């Protein structure tokens, strides 16, 4: 807490497009009072001042090399609350496409088998390195959700991040389902919270917010294949942002079977 | 005299870069901008993915010029697949592109550059000392973002753009609303020009080669030929003759050079090369700001951005007029006429010339990609400027030197996360 | 919209007193504005608001016979609302709606032996009825209380338990799942207490309140002792968002727990597919 | 029932005259389909629409609605929710009319819900008679909702170039009297009306294989059917079915607050029994953990529980959930399958 009673927050970036930080800046357009509610002590993209004393750390970007780990751990030591900001930090995100050669494995994920993964320093979400208290998902994050999360933290409650499928929001938007428009969509297994913005603008959901915690994978696979998706198509749908999750799930299944 | 400047992670720029300047016995030993951003292998990531995904993946190269990357990507795919977008598609793309240029320039000019001139470390203290300035910036940024949102769903990582067209169309009422707001924003634009006309730009001149796209009848942002201030003019497809990308040891980003050791892209290059095509009001603004081609002070890149803010607002108004006049139809994307194929898409994103070069296989999957990013093209020139500037300021206190150098780096508006795309994948 | 019609608008009440009962539970004494009495029945609950965070259903833990213009809520820190309540101080204000639900039909219990078998936090609502019964002691037969918690430190209302234990007209049996050095009493889950008591099943009303997992086992004991299904009473927990039979969260088959319950006789719910 | 005639050419004027006084909503083209939306231009109204994704319920029980506003600094000053403008809903199909009657019952029994009822009292409903099935998913005829005796202020029947207007309430009568120019029905128009109505019925198929009055008992007998488990395997728990349902009314209640942490409001938002957390309580216990149990709950509610609690069936046969479900879980399919299972079981 700073002297004026405002909690000190800092923003950090790792491997990312910095679009989530930009979204934070954008959120000021509708919520200039954010600056009155918190004291920002570090935000490299937008300011030169640097404070090392902060309560909440918002971290953007994935961990992509060993040297990132030390920096992450330092942040974790200082911050009481660590929030992963956006898909790269939350899931590994689009960065994890970098290692996407083993399409076979993803295929096996989708088809429920186990797989062998090679071991390498891979792109990883920050939660794979340090404990994360909260996540604000999305590529990029949703402005409104960011502001709501800040308010929740200020109030001392957990930020509300939905754990139900995107279709919930998509229906309320009264979108004609993409599946009936001859496209396919990850909505039924993807975490809602973006107000189904992609289907609303006519594009398939690519699961940038990650999967819900209890997806019906089998039913989803049946739906996708029924709508003409080939194995390659399926693979590509499942890996845009979630390569890391798919791998992890597979590894867990493999270990569980051993 | 010994001096060492080491700015570890220049702030208020996009991405991570360090300034290292070392002066030993009055001799410049080191003078460089290290790009320490993690390589992101975007070109490798594209390989094997369906071409429809390419623009979604490449927009994630950079949150600030996401629309620019998406547009260049779509143009590359369209060229590769002989897709001819409709007039409506072209107008909508230009409109959202203006939104992004405005957003980026306002962000850069007001939030990243202005604090240096007003003697503060960021925009946050400005909120108390110059609230009207900050509110104006936020207002203009919001309008810019809303232009993108109306056309493509959102600015960062646009949604509704696809190969051949759009998957969602703005309603006339939404466009009318934007039109009104743009007209009303002229007041803010005038204030902006007035504000930047009062700034004391550092005096530093160094002529270089200025490279940009050009089109005969409009100030080129999407498509066009590549033109340079040294007189070269060539089709986009021949971009490699200009860019000559090469790796340097201290940077995870590639550098480029053309006729000289280095060249400059961005608002200043566009201004120098395409001044005649600027909107008359933008030319007036240039006069107010004291700009006349050819401008060779790199610090004035920020002033050229202000000129472009004027141009984009005016051109956006004209585009909306045109769209409303012809009506918006929910048309299907233009069809793919040939597959496989190879294509080059070029745009002038906020920071300069952006090139996406794609190879698409028979199955519709990407077999190769090459992206040339404006910041990479600028890095060599920026270092050349640093090298030329350092002796001129070597007598100043180290803090001032450091600030001058940082301001120079910021003037280029470098987008370092864009610049690191080391791995190139050519079709086998 | 007149205020009487407002079913979602809480009344701002004052916290008169807060007592820390265990590490996780606090007892709040609440005063309604203008000294108004809550007029509740044992077994009813209120919806407690922390404005800005939300609402949570909480059983009224005090008995109407001891109202004094205040009532008590025993709150376990379980999440956002309850966590926020735990950060409050005496004098702070909270929103109250209710009382909601049917309480225990105490008029049907008079003249009967009362067997209470609350588990854990279940003592909070049970206490309201127990104290009512004790305040009208002459109107009831035996009063037997079997109470279990996971550990000695999790036992609620220890002073009150002590007082009950000291009365010769109350038969109190305590147990903990896991003992410690402070504990020389019975160890075992609550059902292990049943073998020690003998009752007249025809004249006994049993009241059990506890976590969902407990009911199946306690019911087996109670039915095993021959208590008629209509004389076994329990209080069901469900997620609740309105308390007024609209939001659907507490629905068990065709009934709304908040309206038809939360107190039910076993006879009423045993036919409901999802009740237990 | 009293009848008058409104020429189609007069409809636009009628709506224009309503607009200063009411929010006028009705079906319009949207997103390649149809949706109820506010009418800015009467010509956009599509009274011959087949169906919409969301039912007109959204104007009576909005997806998000303020219950009250508060200010925490001011001793928790509470302020009741603002009111919507009075509304006229055009083009409500008979299935939706039945659904609204159910909602009326739900929100007026027990504790009457002032938010719903206020809005309902300020809403006038103009129904439209369905002359052909929306599509292959509707099963209104089986559910007995292909006609509505009440539940509307005005009801329109398309006679070709005019609507026969059936006046259901005195408010409807006044609305027509004040804002529309109508003519009394002539004998020829009465004949056309009769013809239109009698021609429509054969166009609608019965889709349940049993009489709907047997549905509650069929469900009672089916609590242990293996079908629920099978539905649980298939269901995505996406809540599309309940979100588009005209009779679903479950909601969640949340607080929203401004950045100053002082002013805020309590809102209710649609919730769904198909979602994982719907019946989860503190401590993590979920009373309907499996998708199978949740599906069973859904269909039991539609065909039995709601009827027991509110005297109306919880399903009106609109077919919206069937259209919305990606894994083809449909009431007709489920009810018929249960029926077949029962038949097979009872003849064993
Ligand atoms: C009739 C009744 C009487 C109760 N009496 C008491 C009592 O006397 N003392 C006491 O401490 N607790 C009591 N509870 C439980 C108490 O309501 C929950 O612990 C509380 O709602 C959790 O809210 P929260 O905001 O603190 O937790 P949250 O942060 O909202 O959530 C924590 C968990 O609680 C669940 N939950 C959320 N809302 C509810 C809800 N309305 N009901 C149940 N679970 C919910 C969530 O699924 C989540 O898993 C009672 C519950 C009911 C239904
Ligand atoms: S478009 Fe996608 S998110 Fe929307 S309903 Fe269909 S599957 Fe769900
Ligand atoms: S619709 Fe899907 S891809 Fe789009 S923002 Fe939402 S979660 Fe991300
Ligand atoms: S719409 Fe279908 S898949 Fe979704 S919850 Fe309903 S039954 Fe399940």
User: So what's the pLDDT on residue A105?
Assistant: 47
Model confidence pLDDT, tens digit, residues A75-92: 999 999 999 999 999 998
Q: Which pLDDT band, with edges at 50, 70 and 90, does B373 fall under?
A: confident
CA B20 to ligand 3 centroid distance, Å: 41
Which of B17, B19, B61, B63 best probes binding to A when mutated, by most A CB atoms within 10 angstroms?
B63
Q: At D112, is the secondary structure helix, strand, or coil?
A: coil
Residue D185 is classified by DSSP as P
User: So what's the pLDDT on residue B185?
Assistant: 97
- Is pLDDT larger for residue D283 or for residue A73? A73
* Phi, then psi, of D33 in degrees rounded to 5: -135, -145
Residues 6+ apart with CB under 8 A from B108: B302, B305, B350, B413
User: So what's the pLDDT on residue B45?
Assistant: 77
Which of C53, C85, C87 best probes binding to A when mutated, by most A CB atoms within 10 angstroms?
C53
Percent of chain A residues topping a pLDDT of 90: 53
State if residue A237 touches ligand 3 by the CB under 6 angstroms criterion.
no
Q: Give dist(CA C8, CA C13) in Å, integer.
A: 15
Give yes or no for D117 touching A (CB within 8 A). no
Q: Which pLDDT band, with edges at 50, 70 and 90, does B386 fall under?
A: confident
Atom of ligand 2 nearest to the CA of D238: 8
Q: Where are chain A's structural domains?
A: 8-154, 166-257
Q: At D35, is the secondary structure helix, strand, or coil?
A: strand
Strands, E, within A173-217: which ranges? Answer: none
Percent of chain A residues topping a pLDDT of 70: 87
Test B11 with A35 for CB contact under 8 angstroms. Answer: no
Q: Give dist(CA B271, CA B283) in Å, integer.
A: 10
- Is pLDDT larger for residue D269 or for residue B254? D269
User: So what's the pLDDT on residue B421?
Assistant: 36
Task: Calculate Rg over the CA atoms of chain A.
Answer: 19
**What DSSP string describes D251-306?**
EEEEEEE-TTSSEEEEEEEE--TTSTTTTB-TTS-BTT-SHHHHHHHHHHIIIIIH
Q: Which pLDDT band, with edges at 50, 70 and 90, does A106 fall under?
A: very low
Class of domain A8-154: alpha beta
Residues of D in contact with C274 (CB under 8 A): 287-288, 293, 297
Residues of D in contact with A177 (CB under 8 A): 240, 324, 326
CB nearest A168 (choices: D35, D238, D258): D238
Question: A residues 176-195 near C, CB within 8 Å?
Answer: none
Mean pLDDT score, B331-351: 95
Test A174 with D53 for CB contact under 8 angstroms. Answer: yes
Which of A167, A187, A196, A221 best probes binding to D when mutated, by most D CB atoms within 10 angstroms?
A167
Q: Give dist(CA C148, CA B351) in Å, integer.
A: 71
Q: Which pLDDT band, with edges at 50, 70 and 90, does A128 fall under?
A: very high
Mean pLDDT score, B149-163: 96
**Measuring CA to CA, which residue among A161, A157, A239 is closest to residue A194?**
A161
Asked if pLDDT for residue B407 goes beyond 90, the answer is: no
User: So what's the pLDDT on residue A50?
Assistant: 74
Mean pLDDT score, B107-114: 85
Percent of chain B residues topping a pLDDT of 90: 58
Test C241 with D253 for CB contact under 8 angstroms. Answer: yes
Angle, helix B267-274 to helix B301-326, in steps of 10 degrees: 70
Asked if pLDDT for residue D255 goes beyond 70, the answer is: yes
Model confidence pLDDT, tens digit, residues A29-41: 889 888 888 988 8
Listed range (A121-135, B90-104, B109-123, C65-79) with the worst mean pLDDT? B109-123
Which of A27, A51, A97 best probes binding to B when mutated, by most B CB atoms within 10 angstroms?
A97
Q: Give dist(CA C60, CA C47) in Å, integer.
A: 10
Atom of ligand 2 nearest to the CA of A170: 4
Residues 6+ apart with CB under 8 A from D43: D12
User: So what's the pLDDT on residue A257?
Assistant: 77
Ligand nearest to the backbone CA of C59: 1
Model confidence pLDDT, tens digit, residues D258-272: 999 999 999 999 999
Q: Give dist(CA C77, CA C85) in Å, integer.
A: 8
**Measuring CA to CA, which residue among C246, C252, C268 is closest to residue C47?**
C246
- CATH superfamily, domain at B42-419: Cytochrome-c3 Hydrogenase, chain B (1.10.645.10)
Answer for the pair D36, D58: CB distance below 8 angstroms, yes or no: yes
CB nearest A236 (choices: B15, B53, B115): B53
* Phi, then psi, of A33 in degrees rounded to 5: -70, -5
Give yes or no for D251 touching C (CB within 8 A). yes
User: So what's the pLDDT on residue A234?
Assistant: 80
Q: Give dist(CA B142, CA B148) in Å, integer.
A: 10
User: So what's the pLDDT on residue C3?
Assistant: 55
Model confidence pLDDT, tens digit, residues B389-401: 888 888 888 888 8
Test D308 with C254 for CB contact under 8 angstroms. Answer: yes
State if residue C76 touches ligand 1 by the CB under 6 angstroms criterion.
yes
Listed range (B252-256, B349-353, B395-399) with the worst mean pLDDT? B252-256
Asked if pLDDT for residue D214 goes beyond 60, the answer is: yes
Residues of B in contact with A140 (CB under 8 A): 63, 154, 156-157
Task: Report which secondary-structure segment, H or E, holds D336.
Answer: helix D331-347
Residues of chain C short of pLDDT 70, as ranges, are 1-5
User: In Å, how far is A3's CA from the nearest CA of chain D?
Assistant: 17
Test A156 with C52 for CB contact under 8 angstroms. Answer: no
Q: Give dist(CA D278, CA D299) in Å, integer.
A: 16
Q: At C119, is the secondary structure helix, strand, or coil?
A: strand
Q: Which pLDDT band, with edges at 50, 70 and 90, does A119 fall under?
A: very low
Test D67 with C8 for CB contact under 8 angstroms. Answer: yes
Asked if pLDDT for residue A13 goes beyond 50, the answer is: yes
Q: Give dist(CA D212, CA D216) in Å, integer.
A: 8
Asked if pLDDT for residue B311 goes beyond 70, the answer is: yes
User: So what's the pLDDT on residue B260?
Assistant: 73
User: So what's the pLDDT on residue B425?
Assistant: 31
Residues near ligand 2 with C-beta < 6 Å? A 166-167, 170-171, 175, 177-179, 185, 187-188, 196, 199, 205
User: So what's the pLDDT on residue D250?
Assistant: 94
- Is pLDDT larger for residue B110 or for residue B189? B189
User: In Å, how far is A164's CA from the nearest CA of chain D?
Assistant: 7
CA D288 to ligand 1 centroid distance, Å: 16
Q: Which pLDDT band, with edges at 50, 70 and 90, does D178 fall under?
A: very high
User: So what's the pLDDT on residue A111?
Assistant: 44
Test D278 with C273 for CB contact under 8 angstroms. Answer: no
Atom of ligand 1 nearest to the CA of C75: 11
User: So what's the pLDDT on residue D283?
Assistant: 82
User: So what's the pLDDT on residue B13?
Assistant: 58
User: In Å, how far is C129's CA from the nearest CA of chain D?
Assistant: 24
Asked if pLDDT for residue A109 goes beyond 70, the answer is: no
The pTM assigned to this predicted structure is 0.91
Question: A residues 127-156 near C, CB within 8 Å?
Answer: 155-156
Q: Which pLDDT band, with edges at 50, 70 and 90, does D25 fall under?
A: very high
Asked if pLDDT for residue B416 goes beyond 70, the answer is: no
Give yes or no for D309 touching C (CB within 8 A). yes
Answer for the pair B252, B420: CB distance below 8 angstroms, yes or no: yes
Please compute, for residue A13, the number of CA atoms within 13 A of its CA located in the half-sphere on the CB side. Answer: 28
Find the closest chain D residue to A38 by CA distance: D259
Q: Give dist(CA A44, CA A31) in Å, integer.
A: 20
- Residue D95, token pair as written in the block: 């299935």
Answer for the pair D40, D219: CB distance below 8 angstroms, yes or no: no
Atom of ligand 2 nearest to the CA of A185: 2
Residues of A in contact with B142 (CB under 8 A): 26, 29-30
State if residue C127 touches ligand 1 by the CB under 6 angstroms criterion.
no
User: So what's the pLDDT on residue A3?
Assistant: 57
């Amino acid at each position: 807490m700073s002297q004026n009673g405002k909690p000190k927050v800092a923003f950090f970036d790792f491997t990312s497009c910095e679009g989530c930080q930009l979204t934070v800046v954008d959120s000021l357009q509708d919520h200039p009072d954010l600056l009155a509610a918190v004291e920002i002590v570090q935000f490299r993209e937008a300011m030169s001042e640097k404070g090392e004393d902060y309560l909440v750390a918002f971290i953007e970007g994935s961990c992509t090399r060993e040297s990132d780990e030390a920096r992450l751990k330092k942040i974790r030591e200082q911050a009481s609350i660590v929030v992963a900001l956006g898909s790269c930090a939350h899931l590994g995100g689009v960065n994890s496409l970098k290692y996407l050669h083993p399409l076979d494995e993803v295929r096996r994920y989708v088809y429920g088998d186990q797989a062998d993964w090679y071991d390498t320093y891979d792109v990883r979400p920050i939660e794979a390195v340090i404990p994360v208290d909260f996540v604000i998902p999305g590529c990029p994050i949703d402005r409104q959700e960011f502001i709501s999360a800040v308010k929740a933290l200020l109030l001392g409650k957990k930020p509300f991040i939905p754990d139900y499928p995107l279709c919930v929001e998509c229906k309320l938007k009264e979108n004609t389902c993409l599946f009936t428009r001859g496209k396919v969509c990850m909505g039924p297994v993807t975490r809602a919270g973006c107000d189904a913005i992609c289907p609303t603008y006519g594009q398939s959901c690519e699961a940038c917010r990650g999967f819900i915690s209890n997806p019906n994978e089998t039913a989803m696979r049946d739906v996708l294949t029924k709508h003409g998706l080939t194995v390659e198509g399926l693979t590509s749908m499942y890996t845009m942002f979630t390569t890391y999750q798919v791998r992890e799930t597979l590894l867990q299944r493999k270990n569980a079977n051993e | 005299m010994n001096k060492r400047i080491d700015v570890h992670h220049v702030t208020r720029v996009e991405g991570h870069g360090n300034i290292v300047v070392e002066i030993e016995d009055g001799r410049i030993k080191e003078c460089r901008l290290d790009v320490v951003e993690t390589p992101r292998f975007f070109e490798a990531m594209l390989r094997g993915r369906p071409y429809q995904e390419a623009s979604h993946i490449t927009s994630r190269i950079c949150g600030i010029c996401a629309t620019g990357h998406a547009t260049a990507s779509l143009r590359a795919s369209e060229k590769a697949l002989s897709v001819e977008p409709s007039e409506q598609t072209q107008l909508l793309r230009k409109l959202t592109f203006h939104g992004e240029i405005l957003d980026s320039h306002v962000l850069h000019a007001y939030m990243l550059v202005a604090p240096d001139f007003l003697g503060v470390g960021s925009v946050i203290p400005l909120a108390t000392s110059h609230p009207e300035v900050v509110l104006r910036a936020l207002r203009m940024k919001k309008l810019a973002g809303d232009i993108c949102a109306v056309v493509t769903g959102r600015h960062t990582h646009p949604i509704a753009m696809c190969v051949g067209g759009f998957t969602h169309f703005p309603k006339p009422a939404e466009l009318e609303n934007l039109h009104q707001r743009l007209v009303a924003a002229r007041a803010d634009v005038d204030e902006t020009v007035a504000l930047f006309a009062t700034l004391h730009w550092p005096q530093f001149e160094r002529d270089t080669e200025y490279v940009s796209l050009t089109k005969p009848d409009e100030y080129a942002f999407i498509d066009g030929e590549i033109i340079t201030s040294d007189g070269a003019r060539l089709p986009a497809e021949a971009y490699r003759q200009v860019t000559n990308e090469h790796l340097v040891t201290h940077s995870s980003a590639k550098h480029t050079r053309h006729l000289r050791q280095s060249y400059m892209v961005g608002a200043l290059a566009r201004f120098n090369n395409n001044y005649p095509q600027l909107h008359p009001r933008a030319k007036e603004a240039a006069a107010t700001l004291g700009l006349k081609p050819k401008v060779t002070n790199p610090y004035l890149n920020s002033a050229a951005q202000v000129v472009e803010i004027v141009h984009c607002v005016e051109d956006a108004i004209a585009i909306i007029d045109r769209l409303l006049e012809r009506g918006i139809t929910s048309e299907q994307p233009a069809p793919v006429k040939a597959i496989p194929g190879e294509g080059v898409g070029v745009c002038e994103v906020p920071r300069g010339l952006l090139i996406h070069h794609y190879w698409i296989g028979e199955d519709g999957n990407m077999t190769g990609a090459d992206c040339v990013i404006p910041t990479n093209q600028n890095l060599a020139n920026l270092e050349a400027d640093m090298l030329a500037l350092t002796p001129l300021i070597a007598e100043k206190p180290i803090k001032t030197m450091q600030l001058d150098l940082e301001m120079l780096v910021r003037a280029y508006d470098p987008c370092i996360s864009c610049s690191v795309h080391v791995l190139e994948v050519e079709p086998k | 919209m007149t205020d009487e019609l407002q079913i979602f608008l809480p009344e701002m009440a004052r916290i008169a007193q807060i007592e820390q009962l265990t590490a996780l539970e606090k007892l709040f004494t609440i005063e309604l504005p203008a000294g108004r009495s809550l007029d509740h029945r044992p077994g009813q609950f209120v919806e407690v608001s922390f404005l800005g965070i939300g609402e949570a259903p909480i059983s009224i833990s005090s008995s109407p016979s001891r109202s004094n213009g205040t009532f008590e809520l025993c709150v376990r820190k379980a999440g956002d609302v309850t966590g926020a309540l735990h950060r409050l101080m005496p004098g702070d204000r909270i929103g109250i709606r209710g009382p909601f639900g049917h309480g225990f039909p105490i008029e049907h219990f008079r003249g009967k032996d009362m067997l209470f078998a609350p588990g854990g936090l279940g003592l909070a609502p049970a206490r309201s009825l127990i104290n009512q019964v004790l305040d009208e002691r002459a109107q009831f037969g035996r009063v037997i209380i079997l109470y279990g918690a996971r550990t000695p430190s999790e036992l609620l209302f220890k002073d009150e338990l002590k007082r009950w234990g000291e009365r010769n007209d109350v038969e109190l049996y305590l147990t903990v799942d896991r003992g410690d050095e402070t504990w020389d009493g019975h160890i075992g889950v609550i059902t292990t207490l049943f073998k020690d008591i003998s009752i007249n099943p025809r004249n006994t009303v049993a009241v059990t309140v506890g976590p969902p997992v407990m009911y199946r086992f306690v019911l087996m004991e109670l039915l095993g002792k021959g208590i008629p299904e209509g004389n076994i009473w329990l209080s069901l927990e469900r997620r609740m968002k309105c308390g007024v039979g609209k939001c659907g969260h507490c629905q068990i088959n065709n009934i709304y727990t908040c309206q038809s319950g939360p107190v039910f006789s076993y006879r009423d719910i045993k036919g409901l597919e999802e009740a237990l | 029932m009293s009848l008058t005639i409104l020429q189609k050419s007069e409809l636009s004027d009628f709506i224009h005259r309503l607009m200063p006084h009411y929010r006028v909503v009705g079906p319009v083209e949207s997103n390649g389909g149809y949706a109820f939306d506010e009418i800015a231009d009467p010509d956009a109204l599509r009274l011959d629409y087949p169906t919409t994704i969301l039912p007109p319920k959204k104007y009576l029980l909005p997806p998000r609605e303020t219950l009250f506003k508060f200010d925490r600094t001011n001793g928790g000053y509470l302020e009741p929710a603002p009111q919507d403008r009075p509304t006229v809903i055009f083009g409500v199909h008979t299935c939706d009319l039945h659904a609204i009657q159910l909602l009326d019952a739900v929100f007026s029994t027990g504790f009457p819900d002032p938010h719903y009822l206020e809005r309902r009292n300020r809403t006038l409903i103009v129904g439209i008679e369905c002359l052909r099935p929306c599509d292959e998913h509707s099963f209104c005829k089986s559910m007995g909702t292909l006609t509505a005796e009440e539940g509307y202020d005005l009801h329109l029947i398309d006679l070709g170039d005019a609507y026969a207007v059936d006046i259901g309430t005195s408010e409807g009568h006044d609305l027509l009297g004040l804002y529309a120019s109508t003519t009394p029905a002539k004998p020829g128009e009465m004949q056309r009306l009769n013809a239109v109505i009698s021609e429509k019925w054969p166009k609608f198929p019965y889709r349940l294989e049993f009489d709907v009055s047997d549905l509650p008992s069929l469900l009672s007998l089916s609590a242990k059917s293996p079908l629920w488990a099978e539905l649980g395997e298939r269901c995505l728990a996406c809540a599309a079915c309940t979100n588009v349902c005209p009779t679903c009314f479950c909601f969640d209640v949340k607080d929203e607050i401004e950045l100053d942490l002082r002013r805020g409001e309590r809102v209710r938002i649609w919730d769904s029994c198909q979602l994982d957390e719907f019946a989860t309580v503190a401590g993590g216990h979920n009373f309907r953990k499996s998708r199978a149990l949740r599906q069973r709950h859904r269909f039991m509610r539609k065909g039995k529980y709601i009827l027991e609690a509110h005297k109306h069936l919880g399903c009106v046969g609109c077919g919206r959930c069937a259209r919305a479900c990606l894994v083809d879980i449909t009431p007709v399919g489920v009810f018929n399958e249960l029926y077949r299972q029962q038949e097979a079981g009872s003849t064993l």
